[in-house]
Amino acid sequence: MHEWSLALSLVQTLDRWALERGVQIRRVVLSVPSPAQLDVSILTEAFDALKRESRLEGARLDVKVRSPRYRCRACGYEFGQEEVDAQIGRLMGQYGEEYPLHLIPELLPTFVKCPRCGSHDIEAELSIKVDEVETA
Protein backbone atom coordinates (compact mmCIF):
# COMPACT_ATOMS: atom_id res chain seq x y z
CA MET A 1 0.00 0.00 0.00
CA HIS A 2 2.91 2.34 0.65
CA GLU A 3 3.66 2.32 -3.08
CA TRP A 4 0.55 4.52 -3.51
CA SER A 5 1.68 7.12 -0.99
CA LEU A 6 5.13 7.17 -2.60
CA ALA A 7 3.61 7.57 -6.07
CA LEU A 8 1.35 10.35 -4.77
CA SER A 9 4.35 12.19 -3.31
CA LEU A 10 6.22 11.77 -6.57
CA VAL A 11 3.37 13.04 -8.74
CA GLN A 12 2.64 16.01 -6.47
CA THR A 13 6.32 17.01 -6.27
CA LEU A 14 7.00 16.69 -9.99
CA ASP A 15 3.73 18.34 -11.01
CA ARG A 16 4.67 21.42 -9.02
CA TRP A 17 8.23 21.27 -10.37
CA ALA A 18 6.91 21.14 -13.96
CA LEU A 19 4.40 23.91 -13.33
CA GLU A 20 7.15 26.23 -12.05
CA ARG A 21 9.15 25.59 -15.23
CA GLY A 22 6.21 25.60 -17.64
CA VAL A 23 7.00 22.11 -18.97
CA GLN A 24 5.28 18.75 -19.36
CA ILE A 25 6.99 15.63 -18.03
CA ARG A 26 7.52 12.71 -20.43
CA ARG A 27 9.57 10.27 -18.38
CA VAL A 28 10.68 9.86 -14.77
CA VAL A 29 13.41 7.53 -13.57
CA LEU A 30 12.98 6.67 -9.90
CA SER A 31 15.78 4.88 -8.10
CA VAL A 32 14.81 2.79 -5.08
CA PRO A 33 17.04 0.60 -2.88
CA SER A 34 16.20 -3.11 -2.95
CA PRO A 35 15.79 -3.46 0.86
CA ALA A 36 12.68 -1.25 0.59
CA GLN A 37 10.97 -4.23 -1.10
CA LEU A 38 8.74 -1.91 -3.11
CA ASP A 39 6.48 -3.61 -5.62
CA VAL A 40 7.39 -1.99 -8.95
CA SER A 41 4.16 -3.01 -10.67
CA ILE A 42 2.01 -1.44 -7.91
CA LEU A 43 4.22 1.66 -7.95
CA THR A 44 3.80 2.15 -11.72
CA GLU A 45 0.08 1.32 -11.55
CA ALA A 46 -0.34 3.95 -8.81
CA PHE A 47 1.73 6.47 -10.76
CA ASP A 48 -0.40 5.93 -13.90
CA ALA A 49 -3.61 6.35 -11.91
CA LEU A 50 -2.46 9.46 -10.05
CA LYS A 51 -0.79 11.32 -12.95
CA ARG A 52 -4.13 12.11 -14.67
CA GLU A 53 -4.90 15.80 -15.08
CA SER A 54 -1.37 16.76 -14.11
CA ARG A 55 1.74 17.78 -16.00
CA LEU A 56 2.76 14.15 -15.84
CA GLU A 57 -0.29 12.90 -17.76
CA GLY A 58 1.83 11.62 -20.64
CA ALA A 59 4.73 10.52 -18.50
CA ARG A 60 6.19 7.04 -18.12
CA LEU A 61 7.68 5.92 -14.81
CA ASP A 62 10.79 3.76 -14.92
CA VAL A 63 11.79 2.29 -11.59
CA LYS A 64 15.40 1.27 -11.05
CA VAL A 65 15.79 -1.12 -8.14
CA ARG A 66 19.39 -0.89 -7.02
CA SER A 67 21.26 -3.25 -4.73
CA PRO A 68 23.24 -1.10 -2.31
CA ARG A 69 26.87 -1.64 -1.44
CA TYR A 70 27.42 -1.59 2.30
CA ARG A 71 30.39 -0.60 4.43
CA CYS A 72 30.74 -1.23 8.13
CA ARG A 73 32.14 1.87 9.79
CA ALA A 74 33.25 -0.16 12.80
CA CYS A 75 35.46 -2.78 11.09
CA GLY A 76 35.69 -1.45 7.53
CA TYR A 77 34.18 -4.57 5.91
CA GLU A 78 32.51 -3.90 2.56
CA PHE A 79 29.72 -6.17 1.42
CA GLY A 80 26.84 -6.57 -1.01
CA GLN A 81 23.12 -7.09 -0.71
CA GLU A 82 23.47 -10.88 -0.85
CA GLU A 83 25.21 -10.82 2.54
CA VAL A 84 22.26 -9.10 4.26
CA ASP A 85 19.43 -10.86 2.41
CA ALA A 86 18.94 -13.41 5.19
CA GLN A 87 18.61 -10.67 7.81
CA ILE A 88 16.15 -8.78 5.58
CA GLY A 89 14.15 -11.97 5.08
CA ARG A 90 13.85 -12.54 8.82
CA LEU A 91 12.80 -8.93 9.33
CA MET A 92 10.07 -9.26 6.71
CA GLY A 93 8.85 -12.40 8.39
CA GLN A 94 8.78 -10.67 11.76
CA TYR A 95 6.87 -7.55 10.67
CA GLY A 96 4.80 -8.84 7.74
CA GLU A 97 2.93 -6.01 6.03
CA GLU A 98 4.30 -3.48 8.53
CA TYR A 99 7.89 -4.13 7.37
CA PRO A 100 9.56 -0.84 8.41
CA LEU A 101 12.13 -0.57 5.58
CA HIS A 102 9.26 -0.51 3.11
CA LEU A 103 8.41 2.96 4.40
CA ILE A 104 11.85 4.19 5.50
CA PRO A 105 14.73 2.21 3.95
CA GLU A 106 17.23 4.42 5.80
CA LEU A 107 16.21 2.58 9.00
CA LEU A 108 18.24 -0.41 7.81
CA PRO A 109 21.13 0.03 10.31
CA THR A 110 18.64 -0.38 13.17
CA PHE A 111 17.80 -3.88 11.98
CA VAL A 112 20.84 -5.13 10.08
CA LYS A 113 24.27 -5.98 11.46
CA CYS A 114 27.64 -6.19 9.78
CA PRO A 115 28.05 -9.86 8.74
CA ARG A 116 31.66 -9.80 9.96
CA CYS A 117 31.72 -7.92 13.30
CA GLY A 118 28.02 -7.58 14.20
CA SER A 119 28.00 -3.77 14.37
CA HIS A 120 24.92 -1.75 13.40
CA ASP A 121 27.19 1.07 12.21
CA ILE A 122 26.53 0.45 8.54
CA GLU A 123 26.90 2.94 5.73
CA ALA A 124 24.99 2.69 2.45
CA GLU A 125 23.08 4.81 -0.05
CA LEU A 126 19.50 3.95 0.87
CA SER A 127 17.48 6.98 -0.18
CA ILE A 128 14.68 7.06 -2.74
CA LYS A 129 15.76 9.41 -5.51
CA VAL A 130 14.60 10.79 -8.82
CA ASP A 131 17.55 10.06 -11.11
CA GLU A 132 16.17 11.59 -14.30
CA VAL A 133 13.28 13.68 -15.55
CA GLU A 134 12.59 14.08 -19.28
CA THR A 135 10.47 17.07 -20.21
CA ALA A 136 8.81 18.48 -23.31
Partner 1 sequence: MRPLLEIARERLRRRRVVAVMSGKGGVGKSVVAALAALARPGSALVDLDLEGMSAPRLFGLSGRLHEVGKEGIEPLEAGGVKVFSLGGIVGDRYVVLPGYGQAGAVEALLAFAKLGDSDPVVVDMPPGMGEELLALGRVADFLPVLVATPSRASYGVVKHLAEYLAEMGKRPAAVVLNMAYVDCGGSRIYPFGRGEDARRLAESVGAPVHEAPIDPSLEDYVGKIHEYRGPVADVVRRMVEGL
The footprint of partner 1 (CB under 8 A) covers 1-2, 4-5, 8-10, 12-14, 16-17, 30, 46, 73, 95, 98, 100, 103-110, 120-123, 126-130, 133
C-alpha count within 13 angstroms, C-beta hemisphere, residue 106: 4
Q: Which is nearer to partner 1, 13 or 67 (CB)?
A: 13
Question: Phi/psi of residue 38, each to 5°?
Answer: -80, 140
3-class SS letters over 75-119: CCCEECHHHCHHHHHHHHHHHHHHCHHHHCHHHHHHHCCCCCCCC
Least Å distance between CB 126 and partner 1?
7
- Residues 63, 30 contacting (CB under 8 angstroms): yes
Closest distance of CB 48 from partner 1, Å = 14
CB of 82 to partner 1, least distance (A): 22
Contact 80, 67 (CB under 8 A): yes
CB closer to partner 1, 49 vs 86? 49
Q: How far is the CB of 85 from partner 1 (least distance, A)?
A: 20
